[in-house]
A and B are shown apart, each in its own frame.
Chain A
Amino acid sequence: MPYPMISKNVALAAVFTVMHVVTLPLMAQEGKGASAAATGNGPEAAVEQGKAKAIELCQGCHQFKGADQAGTVGPPLLAMKARFPDPAKLRALIYDAQKASKPYTMMPPFGRNGLVSEQDIEHIIAFLYTL
């Protein structure tokens, strides 16, 4: 299912709501360091969960505030709201950068290859927008 094709106009809040229902059992199964805040479903919880995922998956290559072992392979994650005002663009990049950016890119196709769930991507975007 080509996730990046989802309408750009889908409101973020709506995505959160729907995806929580769909993927809650999966999240419970993973159960990695789930704190009280992180298991909530407000925007702050999304940011926290996104930050945890970003530290797990993004800092290998990207520098960003909160990363303590950041790599230098990819561009630093800064001013993300200004650089990517449309979340659909970020969503597509995280899902499959080979499609959304350059076919030879080193960035893993996180969504396509199941390294993150669609909900994880929304959380990561929520976190990136705080940078």
Chain B
Amino acid sequence: MTREILAVALLAGFGLATGSVAAGPAEDLKVYQAYFEQHFPDFTPEDYTRGMYNFSQDKRAQYEAIMEFPPYEMAVEEGQELFATPFANGNSYSNCFENAGIGIAQTYPRFDAERGKVMTLGMAINDCRVQNGEEPLDVVKGPLVYIEAYMSEAARGKAIDITVPDDPRALAAYEEGKRIYFTRRGPRAFACYHCHWEAAGARIRGNELSPARGQAANFPAYRSKWGEMGSIQRRFKGCMEEFGAKPLKPGGEDMANLEYFHRRLSNGIPLNAPNNRF
């Protein structure tokens, strides 16, 4: 499929395209994967996790030098401790997550049939807290993100595996995330699509644009710009703000659906989180 046809289908004629073609999440993923394979034919699954560092030798070298002593390791340790610390009622996070939280981060966000909505890993952590009488935490930074970092470290290398179950509510959440992804926003009228599909690998000013596929395999991440850890929703929010759009609310349903769609774009890519970004 040529770039033009795909772009028209996804942006201009979005409603028409989804209404007239019996496409679903499985067909979508094939089309999306093919798009990136066509544009980056030499990329291995691991290359996708290197994002923008595929396009600048200089930045790649700096990134690799930083990774000799990764800045996220303290967050992983802190997250591990938090995960193991009992709540006031004696329970702990391992009462909420299967396999004591080991090797499962690559399957989030998930559609939760009981609640009828998408649960991100951050939402699942907060849900666990609230079920056990604790206050929910900030979903963009701080302790909740450290727990995400620990759970991600405990699943590093596992292929991202986001499923859309055969449930009309799951499909609706997926489609909503997709609609948000391809919606132009802000005065510059950029959709996520523009920078991270069409212009992936090119530069905006001095910054190489990472391909959408693989981005979600790296979060949570320690960003030098933040000087600390942040969740993928923190990155989404910052991205929208950077080009002058009103950001979606972290922790909200729109963000969850966007994260669901976006992380699914990385299905099959090995989780390489937590990670480090400039």
Q: Mark B173-202, 1 if CB is under 8 A from A, else 0.
A: 000000000000001111000110011001
- Pick from A72, A98, A104, A108: contact of B203, CB below 8 A: A72
Binds A, one of B6-14, B27-35, B138-146: B6-14
Note all chain A residues with C-beta closer than 8 A to B198. Answer: 106
In the complex, which of the residues A69, A113, A114 contacts B206, with contact meaning CB atoms closer than 8 Å? Answer: A69
Q: Is the CB of A106 within 8 A of B8?
A: no
Which of B8, B188, B189, B205 is close to A69, meaning CB atoms less than 8 Å apart? B205
Give chain A's interface secondary structure class: loop
Residues of B within 8 A of A70 (CB): 205
**Hey, what's the 0/1 contact readout for A15-50 against B, CB within 8 Å counting as 1?**
000000000000000000000000000000000000
Given the interface contacts A103-B8, A103-B11, does A108 sit within 8 Å of B202 by beta carbon?
A: no
Q: Verify B12–A71 contact, CB threshold 8 A.
A: no
How many residue pairs between the two chains, A and B, have CB atoms under 8 Å in the bound complex? 47
**Structural contact, A104 and B12, CB atoms closer than 8 A:** yes
The distance in angstroms between the C-alpha atoms of A70 and B202, with both chains bound, is 11
Residues of B in contact with A, size category: 20 to 34
- Say whether B26 faces chain A, with CB atoms less than 8 Å apart: no
Q: A73-B209, A109-B189 are in contact. List 20 more A-B contacts (CB 8 A).
A: A59-B205, A69-B205, A69-B206, A71-B202, A71-B204, A73-B195, A73-B202, A73-B203, A73-B204, A102-B4, A103-B8, A103-B12, A104-B10, A104-B12, A106-B190, A106-B198, A106-B199, A108-B187, A108-B188, A108-B190
6 examples of A-B residue contacts, CB within 8 angstroms: A59-B205, A61-B204, A69-B205, A71-B204, A104-B8, A113-B187
A residues near B (Cβ < 8 Å) are 59-61, 69-73, 98, 102-104, 106, 108-109, 113-115
